[in-house]
Amino acid sequence: MFSLWMQYPDRNEERRIVAETSRILGEQVDTVFDRDALLSSAEAIKRMPASDQVVNYAVDLVRGTREGGGDWRHYIEWGAGPRARQCLVHGAKALAAMEGLPVPGCVHVRRIAPAVLRHRIVLNYAAAADEVHVNDVVSQVINAVDDTPRADDRSEEHTSELQSRAYL
């Protein structure tokens, strides 16, 4: 669903990791989230509604990796597919839930988009020759796709109705 990128630790961090993990064997780990709480949270997030604006923005972001004339388009061999749209909305819902919000906004889709899109886009040889990284292309797509409400979004009253429902 997501591609999380982490940098290698520097030498001092690596030394600290080795020193601390060699002492962990006798340590007690406290449970902070049990299985039932995890499953219950996942189910609540699935039930959380998403506005038409959020859904349309997710669709437009994914389509932006396959269509359009942006500066990035000539670097993409293969764009993101339909599952990326679903992952954008699910990830946005999870971010909103972690912030205690009843529904996600386009800001949540934008925040999760790099983790969702970067491993679903295949760059071509032109990108390699120009030393363009997939993160650069994803950033360009995110910056180019408009998240303002569209004519086919539902009314503000519908969005207010979604926000008034208690899903968490």
pLDDT digits (tens, 9 = 90+) for 36-59: 999 999 999 999 999 999 999 999
Q: What is the pLDDT of residue 107?
A: 96
Q: What is the pLDDT of residue 1?
A: 74
Q: What is the pLDDT of residue 108?
A: 97
Range 151-156 contact pairs with CB under 8 angstroms and sequence separation of 24 or more? 152/52, 152/56, 153/51, 153/52, 153/53, 153/56, 154/51, 154/52
Q: What is the pLDDT of residue 168?
A: 38
Q: What is the pLDDT of residue 167?
A: 43
Instruction: Enter the DSSP assignment of 73.
Output: G
Q: Is the pTM of this model over 0.75?
A: yes
Question: Would the CA dihedral through 103, 108, 113, 114 be positive or negative?
Answer: negative
Q: What contacts 149, CB < 8 A, 6 or more positions away?
A: 53
Segments of the chain with pLDDT less than 70: 3, 5, 22-27, 68-69, 150, 152-168
Sequence letter at residue 45? I
CA dihedral 68, 72, 75, 78 (to 10 degrees): -50
Q: What is the pLDDT of residue 17?
A: 83
